[in-house]
Amino acid sequence: MPEATSDSGPDNSHKEGDVPGSTPSGGSAVTAPAAESVAGAVQLPAWTKALGWCGVAGLIYLLICAVSIISRGFAGLGSDAAHTMFAFAAHPWVGLSVGVLGTVLIQSSTTTTAIAVTAVGSGALPLQGAIPIILGANVGTTVTTSLVALTFIGDRTEFRRALGASTVHDFYNWLALLIFFPIELIWHPLEHISGTLTHALYGTDWLPNPAHFNFIRAATGPVEHGVIHATSHVSSTLGPLFTILIGAALILVAVRYLGKLLKLLMVGRARDVLIKAVGRNAYLAMASGMGVTVVTQSSTITTSVLVPFAGAGILTPAQVYPVVVGSNLGTTFTVVFAAFAGVGQDAKIGLQAAFVHLIYNLFAIVVIYVIPLLRPVPLYCAENLARIASEHRWVLGVYLGTVFIALPALVIVLVGVL
């Protein structure tokens, strides 16, 4: 199957054969000195790595605790109060905007999605209300990589290359949203397919039942009870609210520092895997992007690692494109994992919400990337935005401020508040 191609090379001032690290076939056989000059890996002592991996284990434990804490907080609110919290997001367009804007503000789609999945698993948020939030979070996470490209703004050529590679993630996710959000509103395929999958697998040997994960409850019990005890001294309404806020803050801290720590421990190997895979085959690059994202727990890390290589002209946006697609899928496994921390009568539907995220990104890959018709669209949009923004830098500020902040905020105010 043909790979996505780019009309513009890494640098218009060079001929194709002069591009650093390029191969005659148009690949990206990056030499070691070139790679090291762009993003050198820090060699850590063995004892530092050991402490680092202990920290990773501790942060994963904290993530599971945080999910359990939020679940207890929603349970403490009672069904009426819990549903009132999400009443403003009942409208699908408001939920979508909450997902986009919330992810932009906290810079973590995993946090936004995990909170939505936990709310569903606790019975506080219906699945239909969570789906737009999940789809919006998928878009909101792309803004971070665009901000990374701003570090090259001093050089017009490097800025164009870096921005083209970073915003291909934006336009891929916007295109997926444009296709699947209206379809979901009308026919609800994500809800139906995820429900069928969960019903078929739940409680079978193929898929563990979260309700049987008693050891998770035992392991998270001390932290969970400590937070509940600390918030029990206030009113019956404020106590659970504080519990939910503490759990959300712990998810944010766990995901943020888990990403930073894994980046420090893995970025050298992850970078080598990505760079070696990018120029060989688009689907190998996609698989590498997915694998690295599963390991680092962050699609932002995966895509941001490649932006300096694109800015230096070593990689083209077309070569970064399949890695971005794979990272989108890889980030869904974190939320599926978090869903297993939920227990109780609504744990099954919480797991279904996590499957929505997974199925959505699988469908996006098939419709946008595997089928050649739509594959060039995100790349075309990204390269043209990069070309225009490199000549008129204010265009990028207008783009980011409008689509990621102003427009979602306007929808929330006009539809959800007024």
Predicted pLDDT of residue 75: 73
Please say if the pLDDT value at position 256 is more than 60. Answer: yes
Residue 263: band (very low, low, confident or very high) from pLDDT cuts 50, 70, 90: low
Q: Which of 131, 129, 132, 117 is nearest to 84 (CA)?
A: 129
Query: What is the mean predicted confidence (pLDDT) over 86-90?
Result: 77
User: For the purposes of burial, counting CB atoms within 10 Å of the CB of 366, is it exposed (0-12), middle (13-18) or buried (19 or more)?
Assistant: exposed
- 340 SS3 class: coil
Predicted pLDDT of residue 34: 43
Predicted pLDDT of residue 203: 65
Q: Which residues contact 52 (CB under 8 A, 6 or more apart)?
A: 44, 261, 264, 265
pLDDT, tens digit (0-9, with 9 covering 90-100), for 37-65: 444 445 678 888 888 889 888 887 887 78
Q: Which residues contact 89 (CB under 8 A, 6 or more apart)?
A: 95, 98, 125, 129, 132, 133, 416
pLDDT higher for 80 or 404?
A: 404
Predicted pLDDT of residue 266: 62
Share of the chain above pLDDT 90, in %: 35
Identity at 265, one-letter amino acid code: L
Please say if the pLDDT value at position 20 is more than 60. Answer: no
Per the prediction, the chain carries an average pLDDT of 80
Predicted pLDDT of residue 65: 84
- 200 SS3 class: helix
Query: What is the mean predicted confidence (pLDDT) over 21-42?
Result: 42
Predicted pLDDT of residue 33: 40
pTM (2 decimals)?
A: 0.78
CA distances, 246 to each of 54, 129, 150, 314 (Å)? 23, 23, 33, 43
CA distances, 300 to each of 7, 51, 284, 314 (Å)? 26, 24, 19, 20
Residue 394: band (very low, low, confident or very high) from pLDDT cuts 50, 70, 90: very high
Give the Cα separation of 307 and 145 in Å (integer). 8
Please say if the pLDDT value at position 7 is more than 60. Answer: no
Spell out a b/e string for 388-412, using b for 16 or more CB atoms within 10 Å of the CB, else e: ebbeeeeebeebbeebbeeebeebb
**At residue 41, what are phi and psi to the nearest 5 degrees?**
-90, 140
The DSSP call for residue 9 is -
Query: What is the mean predicted confidence (pLDDT) over 279-299?
Result: 83
Give the Cα separation of 65 and 59 in Å (integer). 10
Predicted pLDDT of residue 184: 96
CA distances, 25 to each of 253, 316, 380 (Å)? 44, 14, 21
Q: Does residue 416 contact residue 91 with C-beta atoms inside 8 Å?
A: yes
pLDDT, tens digit (0-9, with 9 covering 90-100), for 327-344: 999 989 878 876 765 555
Q: Does residue 267 contact residue 41 with C-beta atoms inside 8 Å?
A: yes
Predicted pLDDT of residue 105: 85
Give the Cα separation of 377 and 67 in Å (integer). 38
Give the Cα separation of 107 and 95 in Å (integer). 17
Please say if the pLDDT value at position 306 is more than 50. Answer: yes
pLDDT, tens digit (0-9, with 9 covering 90-100), for 171-225: 999 999 999 999 999 999 999 999 999 888 776 656 555 445 555 567 777 888 8
Bin 39: left if φ > 0, else alpha if -120 < ψ < 50, else beta.
Answer: beta
pLDDT, tens digit (0-9, with 9 covering 90-100), for 127-184: 999 999 999 999 998 888 888 888 889 899 999 999 999 999 999 999 999 999 999 9
- 312 SS3 class: coil
Q: Which of 408, 406, 375 is nearest to 171 (CA)?
A: 375
What are 323's two structure tokens?
């890695």
Q: Does residue 137 contact residue 115 with C-beta atoms inside 8 Å?
A: no
What are 11's two structure tokens?
């640098």
Q: What is the largest CA-CA distance in the chain?
A: 70
The DSSP call for residue 415 is I
Query: What is the mean predicted confidence (pLDDT) over 12-31?
Result: 39
Q: Does residue 369 contact residue 200 with C-beta atoms inside 8 Å?
A: no
Predicted pLDDT of residue 25: 34
Predicted pLDDT of residue 205: 59
**DSSP bridge partners of 202:** 207
Please say if the pLDDT value at position 122 is more than 90. Answer: no
Q: How far is CA 83 from the centre of its chain?
A: 26
Give the Cα separation of 305 and 259 in Å (integer). 13
